[in-house]
Amino acid sequence: MKMKPFRSHHRSLSGIVLCCAIIFSGCTGKTSTLTKNHAYDSVALLGFGEAGRQSLPPAASDEIVVRYGGWSYEQLRDSKIGKDNMYQQSFEKINSITDAAISKSYPTNVYRVHLQIAGSRGKTLAAQKMLLGKNEMFAPCVIAATAMISHLVQTGEHISQNDASTRCDLPTEVDGTYHAYLYWTKDGKLGLGSAWDEDTTNGLSITSIKIAE
């Protein structure tokens, strides 16, 4: 299994065991699956600004709707809420992913975030992308993380571990080799790791987004 968190350049047996334990052991605290409407004004909820004037569209049972304000993964992690709920990991260059990658932001908008595409687990990234629906895009990690942290802050519940260990889009220097994934640590913090795109043994699903209409 070619998978490890963003911490160092070195491969070691202990590092692999630690990563596997983090990804598949689950986290402490309440967990949930999405069974009802979850729509969050993440700009206000996460402390990035004032609430929007327009009401948010309802979310389907398998998605989270968020109003995202254009912050980066780094800004989310370093925010007050991020420091309380996200793994404060160091992002050294590894698998072509750099500190610069987590500073990238995306257009402000209301997004529908589908954290687990049905049938995507245990497939290569290319095969997973074939399962994306009409107008769906491979989700940037920061938008997927925004949905997961918003749900945690609003409800006190972690999206279930199966939904959490999921690939997301993060810029790389060598595209098509490694992509990021989101996971919960044992103490309930949201972390970011990287996995080989061709690996089918890691149990990861894929996350998608689309602009809410």
In this prediction, residue 21 has a pLDDT band, given cuts at 50, 70 and 90, of very low
**Cα 16 to chain center, whole Å?**
21
Tokens of 122: 């245990």
Q: What is the mean pLDDT of the chain?
A: 81
Q: pTM, whole model, 2 decimals?
A: 0.83
Residue in 62, 81, 55 with CA at minimum distance from that of residue 120: 62
**Mean pLDDT throughout 166-195?**
84
**Mean pLDDT throughout 196-202?**
89
**Mean pLDDT throughout 141-154?**
96
More confident residue, 108 or 171: 108
Q: Which residues contact 177 (CB under 8 A, 6 or more apart)?
A: 95, 96, 196, 197
8 A C-beta contact, residue 39 and residue 57: yes
In this prediction, residue 4 has a pLDDT band, given cuts at 50, 70 and 90, of very low
Statement: residue 28 has pLDDT above 70:
no
